[in-house]
Amino acid sequence: MITTERYFSQENMQRFRGKTNFIIFFLAVLTACLGGASLAVAAVPNLPGATAVMAAKTVEIEARYLYYDKQANLYHAQGDVVIRQEGMELKADKAILNQATSEFEAWGEVLLRDRSDYLACRYLKFNYRDQIGSIKDGRIFIKEKNYYITGEKIEKLGPNAYDVENATLTTCDAERAAWLIRCKKVQVKEGGYGIVDDAVFAVKNVPVLYLPKGVFPVNTQRQTGFLLPGIGYSDKDGVIVKNAFFWAINRSHDLTLYPEIYGERGVKFGAEYRYVINEQAQGDVSAFFMSDKLVEDDPAAYPDADRERWALGAHHMQTLQNGTRLKAAVNLVSDNEYLDDFPDTFSGDFIDELGNSDYKTDTYLRSLASAGHSWERYNITGEGRYYQSLLKENDDTTLQLLPELTFAARNQPVAGADWLFWQMQGVYTNFWRREGERGQRFDLVPSLTMPLKFGAFEVSPFLELRETYYQTNNSAVRKDGSASRESMAAGVEIKTVAERVYAFDWFGMDRLLHTLEPTVGYRYVPDVDQSDLPAFDDLDYLAEESNVSWALVSRLVGRYPRAGQPEQFDYHEWLKFQVGQAYSFIDVADGQRFFENDQHASDFFSKLELHSRDGGLYMKLENRFDPYQNANQLVTALLSTNNQGGDFLSLEYRYERDLAELFTGVGRLPLMPWLDVYGSIRYSLVDNHIWETIYGFNYHPQCWSLDFSIDEEHEPYDLSFRLLLSLNGLGGLGKN
């Protein structure tokens, strides 16, 4: 059987059927309420203009002629019949409620309104006990997706079974719809599937697609079936055809299979399995494989890849009943170029809290497994991390953390004193790799802090002690064995806050707070002999320090009264400005921390950020200035705007001395109510070279849209395009 997912979006057809069920079931609710309420109503006499109020369920019946036949247990209403119940209103020329047979009938211009949705028909009959009934010449409008549905005859055969004759569906408001789906017959089975006969997709009443018979899911639950196919083109990959088959195993498990054809490469097979154990535990596993013809045809472009290429991803997050947090993430690929060729490999994962790598900027893919537990003042975490290099041909020399255990005691008073506090952190790390120096390191750092108040100033001296112990092996530069380092750090931080509040009756504010927050600190770390220590990471060398630093932070914070809530306010930080610098008293600082050799002052740092309250405007200016070279080391400028309609513009300039000078622009702008243009550009000002451009348009009249874009990469050159045709309410056809 050929399924209709090519023309009917699975998700939206499920929503369509769910809303149709809702309207028809609302009749059952209404009539059940009428039946249950009738005992509270006395016999209504044969009077013109009568009104019956059934207080038990707050159901109202109005009609020019209203009569209750006690012997037959029938309600008769005729002439401008109106029935209201909890936001729903039914109008008809004539209506009869038969409590003996549990049936409800309405004739004439029948109109059932449920807020913004409606059902109109010429005749309606419904048995609310058996949940069966029929509608003649029915017209349904569903506001949520702007659905217009008609059926010459709609038969409800059971709780979830229907037959519809001569049905139509569209989301177009115009009398002559831009597109329309017409079916001679639709059968909805109890199992949650619909069968259509003689389905025609028409554009301006001109048939363009015909399906003699098809099957589609109509249940509100996830359903097994083919998803929308995709067609695209790339200079490197050739014609691309993507498809997917979704298997709803049960409520908590599903599997998606991805057969994809690349004209120049071959067939790529993929699968993604997702599971939810309970509200506290969920995960996914994905795998992809391809026998890539391009690797064999152009081995120079793939020096570290075999023809068989693959990717593996897995994620799991869980919180145990005792509060212990578990998480795991696996991200592995067969070669360094895999993510360049297939950048959306891990984009389908439905757990994104684990921080997947960005292949465009990161040099490693990270896999991890961790467990952590927190108490009021303590926490402990165990974690294993595996790094796959995206630059090296293999990871034999890549350093792995297998495992790392961290214990932390948070700031707490010493012997109950409110002027002396202690905290401590201990970290054990096992460094491992196939080739090169391996070993274990234990680093223990207890510290004391004594915050003191002197008028408007807060003075906080501190003392840190550090013991670091190593056990190494497989070393080519030192004998296997143990080593240790004892160090300390001491200093003081002085800070204060000056603030002033202004009356400010603009932009919904009544007050504006301006603060100046200066901070001065001193830090001392003695020179310690570390020549016999291994070099696993930055912690293995602690530079001598004797430096003073200063910083100034200024803020503008607005206060907003809450409407109708006296003395209740909201606050928003409009502007934040930071400046700072450090000065070292040591002549040679070995290039560590802020200072270059023989230079005492660090770069001058400044940063300005502006946020609008609605999030529609963001601006950032950042600068690092070298006072010795009298030159900027870093300059960034970012302006970002967006609105609720999805239109946005982002412009960024970034300068890094001797490294890069880039301009990046991304935007989507409306030219007409029915036409948007969008694009992005990455441009190097150093060599006047464009790295990548994307440009396209989205044409979207009332009930359909056409999206077309071109992506042009210049190093290496590759041209690809996307064409997506979407029918509002049903989904789209085509993708990258």
Identify the CA nearest to 674 among candidates 698, 696, 646, 695.
698
CB 668 within 8 Å of CB 647: yes
Q: What is the CATH number of the domain that holds 198?
A: 2.60.450.10
Its domain, for residue 207, covers 10-222
Q: What percent of the chain has pLDDT over 70?
A: 83
pLDDT at position 596, please? 59
Q: What percent of the chain has pLDDT over 90?
A: 41
pLDDT band at 3 (very low <50, low <70, confident <90, very high): very low
**pLDDT tens string 37-69:** 322 232 333 434 444 444 444 567 888 988 888
**Structure tokens given for 507:** 């932009």
| Domain presence at residue 433 | no
Question: Per-residue pLDDT averaged across 323-333, rounded?
Answer: 93
Angle at the Cα of 655 from the Cα atoms of 654 and 660, rounded to 5 degrees: 105
Q: How far apart are the first and last CA of the chain?
A: 28
CB 406 within 8 Å of CB 436: no
pLDDT at position 15, please? 31
| Domain presence at residue 112 | yes
pLDDT band at 212 (very low <50, low <70, confident <90, very high): confident
**Listed range (86-95, 224-233, 513-522) with the worst mean pLDDT:** 224-233
Question: Per-residue pLDDT averaged across 401-416, rounded?
Answer: 93
Residues in Cβ contact with 629 at an 8 Å cutoff, skipping those fewer than 6 apart: none
Strands in 100-228 per DSSP E:
103-114, 117-127, 132-142, 147-158, 161-170, 179-188, 193-203, 206-217, 225-226
CB 514 within 8 Å of CB 498: no
Instruction: Give the integer Cα–Cα distance in Å for 578 and 515.
Output: 12
CB 525 within 8 Å of CB 542: yes
pLDDT at position 45, please? 38
Query: 274 or 303, which is more confident?
Result: 274
The rounded mean pLDDT for the chain is 82
Instruction: Give the integer Cα–Cα distance in Å for 482 and 105.
Output: 91
* Residue indicated by tokens 């049903």: 730
CB 343 within 8 Å of CB 308: no
Cα atoms in the 13 Å half-sphere on the side-chain side of 584? 22
| Domain presence at residue 143 | yes
CB 78 within 8 Å of CB 107: no
Residues in Cβ contact with 37 at an 8 Å cutoff, skipping those fewer than 6 apart: 54, 55, 56, 57, 59
Question: Per-residue pLDDT averaged across 414-440, rounded?
Answer: 92
The conformation of residue 40, written as its DSSP 8-state character, comes to G
CB 404 within 8 Å of CB 430: yes
Q: What's the predicted TM-score (pTM) here? A: 0.67
**Structure tokens given for 542:** 């602690």
pLDDT at position 595, please? 58
Instruction: Give the integer Cα–Cα distance in Å for 96 and 47.
Output: 16
pLDDT at position 299, please? 85
**pLDDT tens string 688-722:** 889 889 999 999 898 888 888 888 888 777 788 87
Question: Per-residue pLDDT averaged across 380-388, rounded?
Answer: 94
Q: Is the pLDDT of residue 497 over 80?
A: yes
The conformation of residue 316, written as its DSSP 8-state character, comes to E
CB 31 within 8 Å of CB 126: yes
| Domain presence at residue 421 | no
Look up residue 505 and give its amino acid.
D
CB 169 within 8 Å of CB 181: yes
Instruction: Give the integer Cα–Cα distance in Å for 494 and 370.
Output: 38
> How far is residue 481 CA from its own chain's centroid?
49
Question: Per-residue pLDDT averaged across 490-507, rounded?
Answer: 94
**pLDDT tens string 642-693:** 887 778 899 999 999 988 899 999 999 888 889 999 999 999 998 888 988 9
Q: Is the pLDDT of residue 147 over 90?
A: no
**DSSP for 583-599, written as a single string:** EE--S--TT-TT--TT-
Q: Is the pLDDT of residue 264 over 60?
A: yes
User: How many other C-beta atoms lie within 10 A of the C-beta of residue 106?
Assistant: 27
Question: Per-residue pLDDT averaged across 156-170, rounded?
Answer: 80
Identify the CA nearest to 474 among candidates 517, 421, 432, 530.
432
Q: Is the peptide bond before 716 cis (omega within 30 degrees of 0)?
A: yes
* Residue indicated by tokens 């109509």: 218
**pLDDT tens string 175-191:** 888 888 888 888 877 65
| Domain presence at residue 102 | yes
Q: How far is CA 524 from CA 389, 488, 609, in A?
A: 37, 8, 32
Strands in 243-295 per DSSP E:
245-250, 253-262, 266-278, 281-291
User: How many other C-beta atoms lie within 10 A of the C-beta of residue 375?
Assistant: 10
Q: In degrees to the nearest 10, what's the CA dihedral of 28, 29, 30, 33? A: 120
Query: 480 or 410, which is more confident?
Result: 410
Q: In degrees to the nearest 10, what's the CA dihedral of 168, 172, 177, 182? A: -20
pLDDT band at 22 (very low <50, low <70, confident <90, very high): very low
pLDDT at position 349, please? 53
pLDDT band at 17 (very low <50, low <70, confident <90, very high): very low
Look up residue 442 and give its amino acid.
F
Q: Which of 37-41, 216-220, 721-725 has the highest mean pLDDT?
A: 721-725
Question: Per-residue pLDDT averaged across 361-373, rounded?
Answer: 87
Total domains present in the chain: 1
**Structure tokens given for 591:** 């290039």
| Domain presence at residue 326 | no
pLDDT at position 229, please? 67
**pLDDT tens string 336-346:** 888 888 877 87
**Structure tokens given for 720:** 């690809």
| Domain presence at residue 624 | no
